[in-house]
Amino acid sequence: MTSFADLTTIGVGGAIARFVEPTTRVGLIEAVEDADSRGLPLCVIGGGSNLLAADAPFDGVVVRDARRGIAVPDEAAPVEGADRTVRVSAEAGVNWDDLVAFTVGLGLAGIEGLSGIPGTVGASVVQNIGAYGQEVASSVESVEVWDRLDKRVRTLAPADLAFGYRSSVLKASMYVAPAQPADRFFPTPRYVVLSVTLALRHSATGAVGYGQLAKALGVEVGDHMAIGAIREAVLRVRAAKGMLEDPTRYATAAMAGAKREENVRADLASLAALQQGAPGAAPAADPDRHSCGSFFMNPILPAERAAGLPADAPRFAAVLPDGTPGVKTSAAWLIDHAGFHKGFSTGDGAKAGLSSRHTLALTNRGGATAADVAALARVIQDGVEDAYGVRLVPEPVVIGMDLR
């Protein structure tokens, strides 16, 4: 029987009563509609890289889109010298980094900074993935969804999607308040993503949007670089932080075929090079990589609350959920300054701990349960709240456990 431990990057979570993998658009809609009409709990899962599911069995249906199609309707259009927009559509089940590799290979700029983010195209728009100065929102032209409430296919434009920092109308349809699931649709949005159309630019170069990346490339933020070089630098920086997915997971029966084979091979070769093992040796799984990525969101606070933080806490202009101006601070800074440093765990032999390379990643060091990860999360939430009065909110979708 398939379990969430088999399907998620953090490798924890209970058995799943029914797991289906539709291979057609109609099959996907039917699987969702079937679960909804029978009132069963439904989880549409992608790469399982932003999910923490409880150890208890999931008494519902988990649906994983097995379609992997990418189409470039404008590809045959003539290039007339200057940059131009090229639309690329991908089915929800396409592995996100397969899409980035494909578009960079075509010389299209817009998502190269999002290289190496685990997961699927469908989920990329749910939480508006972002990294190194780019967010998918800036490239989205439209999202085709199955609306579980109105029971019809709809095409949502960026104005409908209300993208924000790790948020969108899709994600908002699952929650009534931060980390508080809405009974009706959770743990999957009201809108199940069927496909995403991006508007990219035919351009040899892209802008470097982030300090760390600029440093890796030896340029200034805002400089233009070849998009292939930006992708390579992003992958290097992510690998150094343990923030790439563990490619050895695609050797398992549950994950086989979910990512293009040539890309899995390239990821395995990079991991082997990083580990500097014997020539030709298969890379070992990297314990820092069994995570959900950043576990907590960067808090956005009203100005008066942010004023109470220590003077050296990072502060960035941001927008509060109600649309008024706020201040974004750094969850990693708060965690570190509350005394939880890289590699922290609650004791000798603890199976869950902070990544040794990234303060924000809670990792399964081998053999952890969901309860171990949740206990670690609560210790950190409580410690940060005691020190700074800020309750950190988990970024992953937490199923069957309360991490408010």
Ligand X SMILES: Cc1cc2nc3c(=O)[nH]c(=O)nc-3n(C[C@H](O)[C@H](O)[C@H](O)COP(=O)(O)OP(=O)(O)OC[C@H]3O[C@@H](n4cnc5c(N)ncnc54)[C@H](O)[C@@H]3O)c2cc1C
Residue 232 CB burial class (10 angstroms; 0-12, 13-18, ≥19): middle
Using alpha carbons, list the distances in angstroms from residue 242 to 91, 115, 287, 355: 28, 14, 9, 8
Between 22 and 388, name the residue whose CB sits nearer to ligand X.
22
Indicate which residue of 166, 190, 289, 365 is catalytic. Answer: 166
Give the nearest distance from C-beta 116 to ligand X in angstroms.
Answer: 8
Give the nearest distance from C-beta 199 to ligand X in angstroms.
Answer: 19
Between 175 and 228, name the residue whose CB sits nearer to ligand X.
175
Give the nearest distance from C-beta 28 to ligand X in angstroms.
Answer: 8
User: Measured between alpha carbons, how far is 332 from 401 in angstroms, rounded to an integer?
Assistant: 23
- Structure tokens, 189: 């949005």
Between 22 and 122, name the residue whose CB sits nearer to ligand X.
122
Strand ordering across the sheet containing 352-354: 291-294, 361-364, 352-354
Between 192 and 271, name the residue whose CB sits nearer to ligand X.
192
Is 330 catalytic? The answer is no
Indicate which residue of 3, 203, 294, 355 is catalytic. Answer: 294
182: which residues sit within 8 A by CB, 6+ positions away? 173, 174, 175, 176
Between 61 and 380, name the residue whose CB sits nearer to ligand X.
61
Between 41 and 228, name the residue whose CB sits nearer to ligand X.
41
Is 315 catalytic? The answer is no
Give the nearest distance from C-beta 94 to ligand X in angstroms.
Answer: 10
User: Measured between alpha carbons, how far is 42 from 33 in angstroms, rounded to an integer?
Assistant: 10
Between 100 and 117, name the residue whose CB sits nearer to ligand X.
117
Is 141 catalytic? The answer is no
By the criterion CB under 6 A, which residues form the site for ligand X? 9, 43-51, 65, 92, 117-120, 122-124, 126-127, 129-131, 187-189, 192-193, 243, 245, 289, 291-293, 397
Give the nearest distance from C-beta 90 to ligand X in angstroms.
Answer: 11
Annotated catalytic residues are 166, 294, 395
